[in-house]
Structure 1
C-alpha cells in the first residue's frame, strides 16, 4: 500500500495513505474500543507503522545486496517481492547508489563499530528489560551490576 518514490520514511507518507494503512491494522487487530480518542494508542500505532516501514526498506536493501554480492546476478532483474520494476530501479539508482546514501551508510557502519559491547537479552532494549526485571530474571530482583552482567554476557561467557 505504501509508495516508494519520494517516501524515505513513514513520516513522509501522505495522510490518506497513512490512514488507509492504519485502518487495515485496526481491522486486523483489536487495539482499543476508542482508538481515535486515545492519543497514546494512536502514537503507539504510528510508531509501529514507522518501524514496519523502516524494516521493509531495510529488507529491500538486504535483498539488493544479496542478489548483487552473493548471487552475483543483475539486481535490476530481481526486484524485491511486490515491488514494481520502476520502483525497484528508483531504489537502486536514486537511493542506494546516491552519494548521500553512501555517506550516511558509511557513517552508520563506523558508528556501529564503536560499540564496545551490546546487551544480549533479545530484541527488547536494555532499559525496557530492566523495567520488567523480575519477569526476565525468573521473579528475582537483581542489583544493577548483576543485572547488567547478566544481560551483557553471552551463553559462552563472552
Structure 2
C-alpha cells in the first residue's frame, strides 16, 4: 500500500481566505483509480443569505475537470467515487459573507472479514474565508486545487 502523502498546512493570518489542505492519495489494490467506477459530483449547500449562488457552474466545472483528467462522470456503478463539495456560509451585517468550504474525494472500500462497505477519503481540501460577496470563486478555486492534484487513471 502506498503511504499517505505529506500533509501540508498553509495559513495566512492577514489574508481573508485561509487555505488548508490535507491531501492523502492512498491507492492500493482495494481502493484504486483503476478498480473504482466513475465519479459523481455531489453538492452540499449549507450557505444562507445568497452566499453561494453558482452551484450549477461548480458542478459543471468539476465534471469537466474530472473528464479532462480521464475520469468518467456519466456511469453509475457500486464502486463509484463521490466528489463531495460543501459550503457552510452566511452573510454578516456589513453585507459580506464568511464561511467554510471543503471538497472530498470518497471511494467505497471492501471491509475484510466483515460485511458491508466502508468509505475511504482519498483526498480532501478545505478553506475558510471572510469578507467576500459570496463563496463562488473560493469554491471554484478549491475544486481546481483538489482535481489538479488527483492522480490520473492508468493509461
TM-score range for the pair, normalised by the shorter chain length: under 0.3
Identify, as 1 or 2, the structure richer in strand: 2
Normalising to structure 2: TM-score of the pair?
A: 0.23
Larger radius of gyration: 1
Which structure's residues are more often helix, by fraction? 1
More contact order relative to length (CA 8 Å, sep ≥ 6): 2
Q: Structure 1 length as normaliser, TM-score?
A: 0.22
